Amino acid sequence: MAFANPLALLGFLSLIPIVILYLIKPKPRDIKIPSLMFILDAERKEHRYETMLRKIIRDPLMLMQLLFLILLTLAMAAPFYTANETVRADHTVIIIDASASMQAENPSRFDRAKDAAEKFVSGRTSIIMAKNIPVVVLQRGGRSGAKDTLNRLAPAATTASIGDAILLATNMIEDEKGAIVVISDFSNTDSDSIAAAKMLANADGIDVTYKQVGNDAENIGITYGKLERKGNSYEYICNIKNYMDDKKTVPIEIFRNGKKTLTDSVTVPAYSSELFALTDVKPGATEVSIKQKDSLEVDNRAYIAIPAVDKRKILVVSETKNPPAKIALNSLPDTECSIAKPPVLPSFDDYDLVVIGNITKTSLLPGTFEDLASFVQSGGSLVILASSDLGEIETEGLLPVQISEKAGAAAPETSMPTEFTKDIAFEDVSVITHLISEPADGAIVTVITDDDSPMLAYQKHGSGTVFYSGFGEGDSTWNDFHTRVDYPIFWRQIVDWMSGVHGIEEYNVRTGRMMSLGEVQKVTTPSGKVETDNLLFDEVGGYQVRDDDIAANLYDALESDLSIHPMSEEVRTLTPDLVKADVEKELWTYLIILVMFIAGFELYYLRARGEL
Amino acid sequence: MIDTEFFNQLNRFSLMVRKRVSSVYAGSRRAVLQGKGIEIVGYREYIPGDDVRTIDWRVYGRTEKLYIRKFEEEKNITTHILLDSSMSMDYSSNGMTKFDYAAMLACGFGYMVTRENEKFAISTFGENIDITPPKRGRGYLLHTIDRLNQTPLEGETKFDHCTQQYGKMIRSKSLVIVISDFLTDLDSIRAGLYRLAPNDLIVISIFDPAEHDLTIAGDVKLHDMETNTVRKTYISPKMKEEYRKLLDDHFEGVRSTCMHIGADYLSFGTNVPIFDAFFEAVRAK
C-alpha cells in the first residue's frame, strides 16, 4: 500500500495529546454507596450495550476518538494499492452503428444498440455515430451527459464506416486507460477495414470489443435509382430487390407533389431484383413507394427531385448567319436563343447569357464591350468564343485570357474537371487552328492545349462570369468539335452552369453525401430544420437548400440486405467489464465513510449516555 | 452520636395513640375495647360459649338469670420501635448518618412514650434482630440511648426474617414503629410489613439526599456498603435518570404497601431538621 499524500501522515502526531490525556486521567473514584442495587438495575435496563462495550473496552469514548483521528489521518494521506483486475475503462468510446440497416426490426436494432450502450457508460464517455463519415456526438462526457446523448440519438439512412470510427476513437483516447466498444448489427460491414482499425487500436494499448445486436430480418427495397433526361422531361429507372426467400408481387404507388397519381406492381423472385421505370417525370417532387410489409422502411420509398428551370434567354452575336453554336443552343431545353449581327445589337439586359461569336475588330460599335462589362458586373453571363481577330479587340478586360497569336494544330486536354467538362472527351477533338494565349489574372483554366494555351477558361467579374472557349463557334478550319455528338451536351452544360442550374444528379443524391454550403444556412431536412455550413444527407427524403429542392435516397443494396452473420456468443452477450489493467485502488473514500460512521456512533453513544 | 437536646422541644407533644388506661401505672388514654381486666364495666346475658368463670353468681342469685361480667381490658399499650442498623444506614453525605438520624427519631418516640409512663422497646435489626424487652422509665430510655450509641452497624437488611423473629415478642396489639432506609428487596419489605400489620404501625423511611439525587458522575468505582460488591461504571445523566426512577418506584412500592395495610408511611431526608421530621410524624399520627 502506498500513499498519495504521505505528508498527511504527520496527522498521527495529534494522537499524542490524546494518549497523554488518557495516561494522566485520574483513576475512577472509590465511592461507597448504599443503593448499588439500583445502579446495577439502571445499568441493566438502559445501558445494556454500553455495559457490554465497557466490559470489552475500558474507555470506549477514548478508543472512538483515537480511531477517528487515525482513520482521518489515513484518509488524508490518500492510501491506495495497485491491483491487476478487470475494470471499466477510464475513458470509454462507444461507437454505435448508425447505418440504415440499424433501423430494421421492432424494436429497432438501433434502439437495442442504445440500450446496450448505456451499460458501457463509464466516468468519461465519448460516443461516435458510425455513419458513412464518423460523427462525434459526445466527447468526454459524464455519466448523465452520456445517457442524455444516447436518448437523443436517432439512426441515419447512410452506410456505416465502422473502421474509420474506430480510428477516430483511437485518436480520441489519449494517454489514458481507454476502451472502444463497437455496437453494430455487423451486417455487410467492411470486416477488413474494421480488423485493420482494431489492430491499430490494440497497438496503442486500447481494447476494442464488439457487441452485436439484431437478428435476421426480411426486406424488399429500392436499391438503385437513376434519372435520365428525355426531351423536356425525365425518365426514372429503379431497381427493386427482394431479400426474402419467396417470390413477391410488390404494389407500387407513385405520388406527384404529395398526390397519388399512379399505382402499379412488380413481381420480384426470391433473392432477385426487377427494374421499374417511370417515364415523363416532370419538374417537382415525385415519390415512388413500394407497399410491401418488411423490416426496413427507409428503402421502401424513392424520392425524385427535378428542378423547375425558367427559360433562359440567350443572345448570340456573330457575323456568321447560323453558326453551329447557335444551332446547338437552339436545341437546348428551357432556352430561347436569338442571333444578332453586329454592329447594331439589342440591349443586353434583356438576356441571361450573351455569346460573342465570330466578330472582327470592326464588327462592334465602340462602347459595346463597356456595355457588356456593365452587363456582367450586374450578374449577366458572357461567353466569348475564339475568332481570328479576337486578340486585337479591346474587351475591357473581360476576356479571361491574353491572346498573343494564332497558331496551328494542338492537342487539348482537361486540366481541371468541372460540371461543364463532365462526360466530354476534349482529348478527342481535333484542333487545327487555335489561339496561343495565357490565362488572365484570376482566370480559371479547365481545358488546355499542349502548348499551355487555355481552351476553356472563366473568370468572375462582379456578380457575373465571363467564359472563354478557344474552340470558337464551329468552324471546320479551326476544329471538329461542332461535329461531335457531345457538342450540344457541352453547350447545355455551359448554359446550365452559367445560369446556376446543376446537373440532375445534384438534385438527387444518395444518403451519406456531404455538401459544403460555404456559409451557415438554414436547411430544411426530412425531420426538421437545421443550421449548418456542411450538410450531410443522412436521412432519406426531401431537403431544401436555399431555393433548391434536393431528394436523398439510400440506394444501397448492402444496407437493404438485413441478413446477419451471427458472431460469437461472447460478442452477442458482451458485458461492460472490459479492461484488464493495473488499477490504483483508492481507499480514502472507504476511510472517510468509516470516519463518518465512527463520528456518528460517538454522537449516538454520548446521546445514549444523556450527555447530548 | 444521638443528640438528646431536642428532647426538650418534645415536651409539647404527646403521642397520639388510640388507648384508654385504667390503672394507676398505666397511660392516660381510655380504651374503647372490652376484654380481660379488673374493673367491671357492665353485664350481659350469658350466651353458650362464654367463659363460665365470668358468670356473676350473685346476680344469678338475685335474678335467677345467668349474667356474665364485662371487664375493661388492660390498656397499657407498648411501643415497639424497630430500628435498622444495617451497614447501609452508615451512609452520610452531610455529616449525619442515616442511623444517627433514625436513632434520634426512635429515641424521640421513646421519650414521648416514657413521658406517658408507658413501656417501649427499641430493637435494632440488620441480618438479625437484637430484641430488647419493653420497659418503662427514664432510666431505661437513657440506657437505650447509650446502647444505641454503642450499636455496631453491620450486615445486610433482612427485614422479613427480622420481623418474623420480632413478631413473637408482640403479645397484644401494640404500636410498632419501623425506621429504616428500606434499601433491600421490596418483596422482603412487603412480607415484613404485612406481618406487622395487625398492630398500629408507623413506617418511617430515611434517606440521604445525595443517595437520592446521586450527586456522583463520570467514571467511578462503587462499593456496596452492605454486600461489599464492587462495580466500575460510568455514571451518565441518562443513567442517573434511570436510577432515580428505580429508586422512586421502590419507595412507591413501600408506600403503597403501607397504604394497603393502613400503616402510616413517612419519608425523611437526613437534611430535614429532626424536630420537623418528628413534628410531621406525630401530626400524622
**DSSP annotation string for A496-552:** HHHTTPPPHHHHEEETT-EEEEEEEEEEEETTEEEEEEEEE--SSEEEEETTEEEEE
* Portion of chain A with pLDDT greater than 90, in percent: 45
Q: Does A55 touch chain B (CB under 8 A)?
A: no
Q: What is the pLDDT of residue A2?
A: 82
Whole-angstrom distance, CA of residue A493 vs CA of residue B219: 107
Q: Are residues A367 and A463 in the same domain?
A: yes
Residue A539 included in any domain: no
Q: What is the pLDDT of residue A597?
A: 94
Q: Are residues A423 and A375 in the same domain?
A: yes
Q: Does A40 touch chain B (CB under 8 A)?
A: yes
The amino acid at A198: K
Residue pair B86/B57 in contact by the 8 Å Cβ criterion: no
When mean pLDDT is compared across A300-314, A521-535, B32-46, B259-273, the lowest value belongs to B32-46
Antiparallel, parallel or unpaired: β A413-414 and A444-448: antiparallel
Whole-angstrom distance, CA of residue A517 vs CA of residue A535: 7
Mean of pLDDT values over A588-609: 88
Q: Does B215 touch chain A (CB under 8 A)?
A: no
When mean pLDDT is compared across A412-416, A546-550, B165-169, the lowest value belongs to B165-169
Q: Are residues A21 and A132 in the same domain?
A: no
pLDDT tens, residue by residue, A278-287: 998 988 999 9
Which residues does B9 contact at the CB level (< 8 Å), separation at least 6?
Answer: B275
Q: Are residues A76 and A105 in the same domain?
A: no
Q: Are residues A456 and A354 in the same domain?
A: yes
Contact B88 A54 (CB under 8 A): no
The CATH code of the domain that includes A431 is 3.40.50.880
Which residues does A525 contact at the CB level (< 8 Å), separation at least 6?
Answer: A539, A541, A543
**Alpha helices, DSSP H only, in chain B?**
57-63, 98-115, 138-150, 159-167, 186-196, 209-213, 237-261, 274-284
Residue A238 included in any domain: no
Whole-angstrom distance, CA of residue B221 vs CA of residue A260: 103
Helices (H) and strands (E) in chain A, counts: 15, 31
Q: What is the pLDDT of residue B21?
A: 40
Mean of pLDDT values over A365-372: 90
Residues of A in contact with B243 (CB under 8 A): 35, 38-39, 42
Residue A240 included in any domain: no
pLDDT tens, residue by residue, A428-448: 999 999 999 999 999 999 999
Distance from the A58 Cα atom to the nearest Cα atom in chain B, whole angstroms: 10
Distance from the B203 Cα atom to the nearest Cα atom in chain A, whole angstroms: 19
Q: What is the pLDDT of residue A547?
A: 84
Whole-angstrom distance, CA of residue A119 vs CA of residue A173: 19
Q: Does B236 touch chain A (CB under 8 A)?
A: yes
Contact B236 A609 (CB under 8 A): yes
- Count CB-CB contacts under 10 A for residue A574: 21
Q: Does B7 touch chain A (CB under 8 A)?
A: no
Q: What torsion, rounded to 10 degrees, do the Cα atoms A81, A85, A87, A92 define?
A: 100
Q: Does B238 touch chain A (CB under 8 A)?
A: yes
Contact B234 A609 (CB under 8 A): yes
Which of A22, A27, A30, A37 best probes binding to B when mutated, by most B CB atoms within 10 angstroms?
A: A37
Domain span holding position A461: 312-498
Q: Are residues A399 and A479 in the same domain?
A: yes
Q: Does B217 touch chain A (CB under 8 A)?
A: no
Contact B236 A42 (CB under 8 A): no
Q: What is the pLDDT of residue B1?
A: 64
Residues of B in contact with A47 (CB under 8 A): 236, 238-239
Q: What is the pLDDT of residue B14?
A: 52
Residue pair A142/A92 in contact by the 8 Å Cβ criterion: no
The CATH code of the domain that includes A190 is 3.40.50.410
Residues of B in contact with A34 (CB under 8 A): 87-89, 91, 98, 181, 183, 208, 211, 224-226
Residues of A in contact with B223 (CB under 8 A): 30-33, 36
pLDDT tens, residue by residue, A139-192: 988 877 888 899 999 888 888 889 999 999 999 887 777 888 999 988 877 778
User: Among residues A498, A528, A554, which one ends one of the domains?
Assistant: A498
CB pairs under 8 A between A and B: 101
pLDDT tens, residue by residue, A561-594: 988 877 666 555 555 444 455 556 778 889 999 9
The domain tally of chain A equals 3
Contact A609 B220 (CB under 8 A): no
Ramachandran category for residue A584: left, alpha or beta (phi over 0 → left; psi -120 to 50 → alpha): beta
Which residues does A91 contact at the CB level (< 8 Å), separation at least 6?
Answer: A122, A124, A125, A126, A140, A172, A173, A176, A177, A178, A179
Phi, psi of A287 (to 5 degrees): -130, 130
Which of A25, A27, A38 best probes binding to B when mutated, by most B CB atoms within 10 angstroms?
A: A38
Which of B93, B186, B224 best probes binding to A when mutated, by most A CB atoms within 10 angstroms?
A: B224
Q: Are residues A317 and A413 in the same domain?
A: yes
Residue pair A425/A457 in contact by the 8 Å Cβ criterion: no
Q: What is the pLDDT of residue A570?
A: 59
Contact B233 A33 (CB under 8 A): no
Q: Which three cell numbers stand for residue A258?
A: 404529395
Contact B211 A31 (CB under 8 A): no
Residues of B in contact with A36 (CB under 8 A): 222-224, 227, 229, 231
* Portion of chain B with pLDDT greater than 90, in percent: 30
Q: Are residues A343 and A459 in the same domain?
A: yes
Distance from the B102 Cα atom to the nearest Cα atom in chain A, whole angstroms: 16
Q: What is the pLDDT of residue A270?
A: 92
Q: Are residues A491 and A364 in the same domain?
A: yes
Q: Does A43 touch chain B (CB under 8 A)?
A: yes
Query: Between these two residues, B129 and A46, which has the higher pLDDT value?
Result: B129
> Please, where in chain B does CATH 3.40.50.410 lie?
5-14+76-284
When mean pLDDT is compared across A239-253, A401-415, B9-23, B188-202, the lowest value belongs to B9-23
Closest-CA residue of chain B to A38: B243
Distance from the A141 Cα atom to the nearest Cα atom in chain B, whole angstroms: 54
Q: Are residues A420 and A334 in the same domain?
A: yes
Q: What is the pLDDT of residue B23?
A: 39
Residue A76 included in any domain: yes
Contact A28 B220 (CB under 8 A): yes
Closest-CA residue of chain B to A37: B224
- Asked whether residue A459 carries a pLDDT value surpassing 90, the answer given is yes
Mean of pLDDT values over A411-423: 91
Residue A355 included in any domain: yes
Which of B228, B233, B249, B254 best probes binding to A when mutated, by most A CB atoms within 10 angstroms?
A: B233
Which of B91, B242, B254 best probes binding to A when mutated, by most A CB atoms within 10 angstroms?
A: B242
| ω into A526 cis (within 30 of 0) | no
Whole-angstrom distance, CA of residue B149 vs CA of residue B100: 9
Closest-CA residue of chain B to A610: B238
Q: Are residues A386 and A443 in the same domain?
A: yes
pLDDT tens, residue by residue, B87-144: 999 988 888 899 999 999 999 899 888 888 888 999 999 998 998 888 988 899 989 9
Which residues does B144 contact at the CB level (< 8 Å), separation at least 6?
Answer: B107, B110, B122, B132
Mean of pLDDT values over A504-519: 88
Q: Are residues A20 and A139 in the same domain?
A: no
pLDDT tens, residue by residue, A47-97: 555 666 665 566 778 888 888 999 999 999 888 887 665 555 678 899 999
Q: What is the pLDDT of residue B16?
A: 42
Whole-angstrom distance, CA of residue B39 vs CA of residue B74: 9
Minimal Cβ distance to A42: which of B221, B232, B243: B243
Mean pLDDT, rounded, of chain A? 87
Residue A534 included in any domain: no
The amino acid at A402: Q
Mean of pLDDT values over A217-222: 92
Q: Which three cell numbers stand for residue B3?
A: 443528640
Minimal Cβ distance to B224: which of A28, A29, A33: A33
Minimal Cβ distance to B238: which of A27, A33, A608: A608
Residues of B in contact with A29 (CB under 8 A): 216, 219-221
Which of B234, B248, B252, B254 best probes binding to A when mutated, by most A CB atoms within 10 angstroms?
A: B234
CATH class of B5-14+76-284: alpha beta
Closest-CA residue of chain A to B251: A38
Mean of pLDDT values over B10-21: 49
